[in-house]
Chains A and B, each alone.
Chain A
Amino acid sequence: MIGLSSYLVLAALVFSIGLFGVLTRRNAVGILLGIELMLNAVNINLVAFARFHGDLTGLIFTLFTISITVAEVAVGLAIVIAIFRVRRTVEADRLDLLRG
């Protein structure tokens, strides 16, 4: 029988991998993919808690986070395309216009 903690540890691993991607990727799209992994790990946590506590609220919140993530990806990628038009690069290290 798989317990609640197995699901939580799996989600924590996926979250850490996503964080690693956000920290190490140079490409802005690659950073967005890392954020996707982290949000995905949160969804696993929500569903696992909802299932093991017999509470519906976690499932509703999972639906909300999935929808909000889709909106976030659409806006984020539109910003990436807009930046690419102006600066001709999507490398996060070279987008330092606001650096003091």
Chain B
Amino acid sequence: MTVETVGFWVVAAVLLASSLAVVLTPNLFHAVLYLAAALVATGVIFLLLDQPFLFAVQLLLYAGGVVTIVVFAIMLTERLVGERIRQTSRHLINGAIVSAAIFAGIAGFLLRAPLATPRPEQAGDATAPIGRALVGPFAVTFELLGVLLVTALIGALYFARGEE
């Protein structure tokens, strides 16, 4: 049992438990907090895969940005309705059957796939090559991403603006 093995199983347990809590807890605000835990656990998975840069991006954008936006949205709708959002679930059995079937399909596919790839040695930190690729072969995609973010920002402002 190496450190990596123990770390993987611990992080996997945390990730699965917080993911289940996200979809099962009745309090919407608690669900967002569990989502933050799941996103941080995913970031630690990235660390286990030797990608500290993606870990930082995951923490900043996902666990920082997304969770903050969702909390703000809940606070806004809660203020408008004047009561805490309690959410209930419906079709629990049907949803569980469909999800289990999807998982069985994916798992069956994984079992039949030739996945015995040995883990290659990490060739140094991947951050500098990522940066070079972003302004090299992926430059156009990178610029398009900037356009998308500006469009999303303007669109969100347009939808959420008040009645003037």
Contacts and interface: CB of A to CB of B under 8 A. Distances in A.
Interface of A: 1-10, 12-21, 23-27, 29-30, 32-34, 36-37, 40, 43-44, 47-48, 51-54, 56-57, 59-60, 62-64, 66-75, 77-82, 84-85, 88, 90, 93
B89 A44 contact: no
Interface residues of B, number: 84
Nearest to A80: B73
SS class of chain A's interface: helix, strand, loop or mixed? helix
A52 B117 contact: yes
Interface string B80-108: 11000101111110111011101100110
A29 B95 contact: no
B140 interface: no
Given A56-B130, A67-B148, A74-B153, 7 more contacts: A4-B117, A9-B110, A23-B95, A29-B87, A47-B49, A63-B57, A67-B149
Nearest to B96: A20
SS class of chain B's interface: helix, strand, loop or mixed? helix
Contacts of B151: 71
Contacts of B134: 60, 63
